[in-house]
């Protein structure tokens, strides 16, 4: 399975206490988690709509709905906005750490010459 997807699911589970990996529930909490993951996967990991659907075990048109409905959910549902912000922050923080490591390694290799 996709490593970045698994990372997002684990982060969402850490934040909410719910694992959405194998559920087909229509509970609002589950739907909000899946929607947040859809939007993060699309924005930060450039996954296609069908790829996201397969990972979350939902139809690709549901993914489209989650992507289109994101501004409304973000504005109207505080729990959704908090989760989305948390996931985005974790993704950005981890990518900045990788960038810093790459820069340090490049500097070390230049200094070694």
Say yes or no to pLDDT of 14 above 80: yes
Say yes or no to pLDDT of 100 above 90: no
How far apart CA 95 and CA 90 sit, in angstroms, is: 9
pTM of the shown model: 0.80
CATH number of the domain within which 80 lies: 1.10.1750.10
Average pLDDT of the segment spanning 91-104: 64
Domain with 83 in it: 3-112
Q: How confident is the model at residue 28 (pLDDT cuts 50, 70, 90)?
A: very high
How far apart CA 95 and CA 21 sit, in angstroms, is: 24
Average pLDDT of the segment spanning 20-34: 91
pLDDT at 38: 95
pLDDT at 21: 85
The total number of structural domains that make up the chain: 1
């Amino acid at each position: 399975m996709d490593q970045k997807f698994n990372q997002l699911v684990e982060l969402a589970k850490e934040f909410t206490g719910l694992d959405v990996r194998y559920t087909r529930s229509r509970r609002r909490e589950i739907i909000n988690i899946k929607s947040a993951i859809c939007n993060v996967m699309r924005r930060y990991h450039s996954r296609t709509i069908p790829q996201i659907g397969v990972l979350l075990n939902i139809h690709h048109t549901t993914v489209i709905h989650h992507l289109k409905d994101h501004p409304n959910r973000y504005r109207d549902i505080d729990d959704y906005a908090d989760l989305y912000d948390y996931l985005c922050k974790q993704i950005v923080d981890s990518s900045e750490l990788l960038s810093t490591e790459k820069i340090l390694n490049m500097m070390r290799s230049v200094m070694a010459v």
